[in-house]
Chains A and B, each alone.
Chain A
Amino acid sequence: MGTTERGANSRTLLEVDDLTAAYDDTPVLTGINFRVHEGETVAILGPNGHGKTTALRAISGLHAKKGGRVSFDGEEISKESSHRIVARGLIHVPQGDLLFGDMTVLENLLLGAYLPKAWRERKERLEKVWSIFGRIHERRNELARNLSGGERRMVAIARGLMADVKLIMIDEPSLGLAPVAIDNLYSALAKLNAVGLTTLIVEESPERVSGIAEFVYLLDSGSITFAGKADELIRDRVMLRTYLG
């Protein structure tokens, strides 16, 4: 494991301790630990099917936890339901986007601001989101189901940004997208990174996140096998080959 010190001066926003989860009786997470500090961009890397998506779903309350503790902003949220976790500012952009297909892009974004405080500020928030994702502004009156994969991913992230977000967790932003769409998406994520939004990205490829993630965890077969800086991991060819092929 890497031993790099990080976030000495910033507050820990998300703490995950010994988190376990399963599908029926098949264990998927066997006790993972990680931290995300305020203002950081952290990545969880790992091969497909090794528990990355389940970890995010368990944290956001969509998947039942078997054990362990999740704390956010100093308070335990392990047993809270998804809508309460959202109200705390922990936003999950899920795999598959989970957009509202028969609603327009605009309606999808308005739903991102569903909770009262965000709803009151929805117009200002929309302006901000349009400035980051210009492409979806052009498509604002289109039904979400008619968008391309890259546009859908942008709407999913933009919907997350409409909330009162303190930390945004994005599940495989590059999954299934063409290289150009991935580049566009990552340049938008870099903008968020630049304004200091705390972000947790799950990805398969370390190259994708090396430009923006300050800290990386490697999740393999349901447990964390490396924690360190992204460039440390990329330099560690043996580790990369062993776990990511």
Chain B
Amino acid sequence: MTKELVAALFSGLVLGSLYALMSMGLALVWGGLRVLNLTQGTLYMLGAYAAVLAGRSGLSPVIGVLLAFVIIGVLGSLLYVGPVRRVSARPDHENAVLLLTFGLATLGEYAALVAFGPQPQSVQTLVHGQFTVVGVAFPWNSIMMIIATIMLLTLLGVVMKWTRFGLASRALAQQADGAQLVGINRHRTSMLIFGISSGLAGVGGVLLSSYYFVTPYIGQNYLLLALIVTILGGLGSMSGTLYAAFLVGLIQAISSLYLGTRWSLPLLFAVIIGVLIVRPTGIAGRVAQERL
């Protein structure tokens, strides 16, 4: 049984990495702009197709990851500069952006369906081989996925904590008028936030493609899980999102082992309901303060 548990824990970490990359994008946009970007799942899916195309063209996986970050990142920035920015000017922009990004996500999904067809496609693993400890196989591809996620999110954490861009993003989230009064260009910062979060989704998609089959619908499933993770972590909290991503991954993996896969989602929702009853703002979320 120990072997199975170790394997389940490892699988939970891999799932957690996938969820973390995608949820971090959602958390970043919510944190900076106070809107939920539902195109995140579609961008994730496009990242996975980028890996399919890169694989077919014989590009190196590392180049594929970089290209996915840049191309999907630019696409995300354009989404902000075009439709999202226009809708953001409305007084009820939170709901309007939610509906707009839902529409764009659906459109993107149909576009992928037309372009790539419904049949699942597979991509070769980015790194081959595995090693075995106590009878459990650890594929290097999965190890690489966890390491890549930790590196990317650490880099993002450093950027958000110490750079001008990071300070500006956090300032914009907390007090938009105050941010403008220190010289922050709200639209340029928002565009960058959209770009980086989309780029992260793209990288998540590439990593995902080496783990699961790629279809036009994969984004939807991961968007739902990313929303769960983001809410559980505390909307807009990056550290909370990270804890929640690994928590959700581990709950899924361990419940699948002991209770079977059909209990995995119900158990997940039970945990989330429990956490939100005890902490309505999520693991690391804060109640909005009106005083400042």
B272 in the interface, Cβ–Cβ < 8 Å?
no
Closest to A93 in B: B181
- In the complex, A136→B252 CA distance in Å? 48
Partner of A98, one of B170, B181, B186, B289: B181
**A interface list, Cβ under 8 A from B:** 60-62, 81-83, 86-87, 91-92, 94, 96-103, 107, 110-112, 114-115, 119, 144-145, 152, 159, 163
19 A-B pairs within 8 Å (CB atoms) are namely A62-B180, A62-B181, A82-B180, A82-B181, A83-B180, A97-B178, A98-B181, A99-B178, A101-B174, A101-B291, A102-B286, A103-B170, A103-B174, A110-B167, A111-B167, A111-B182, A114-B164, A114-B184, A152-B292
B174-233 with Cβ < 8 A to chain A: 174-175, 177-186
| B181 and A99 form a contact (CB under 8 A) | no
Chain B residues contacting A87 (CB-CB under 8 Å) are 183
Please give the distance in Å from B291's CB to the nearest CB on chain A.
Answer: 7
Give the CA-CA distance A62 to B179 in the complex, in Å: 11
How many angstroms from the CA of A180 to the CA of B229 in the assembled complex? Answer: 48
Chain B residues proximal to chain A, CB less than 8 Å: 164, 167-168, 170-171, 174-175, 177-186, 286, 289, 291-292
Q: Known A-B contacts: A83-B180, A83-B186, A94-B178. Give 16 more (CB < 8 A).
A: A62-B177, A92-B181, A97-B292, A98-B177, A98-B178, A101-B289, A101-B292, A102-B174, A103-B171, A111-B167, A111-B168, A111-B179, A112-B182, A144-B292, A145-B292, A152-B292
CA distance A94 to B178 in the complex (A): 8
CA separation between A119 and B171, bound complex, in Å?
Answer: 16
Give B185's nearest chain A residue, CB to CB: A83
The majority secondary structure among interface residues of chain B is helix
Interchain nearest-CB distance for B234 vs A (Å) = 12
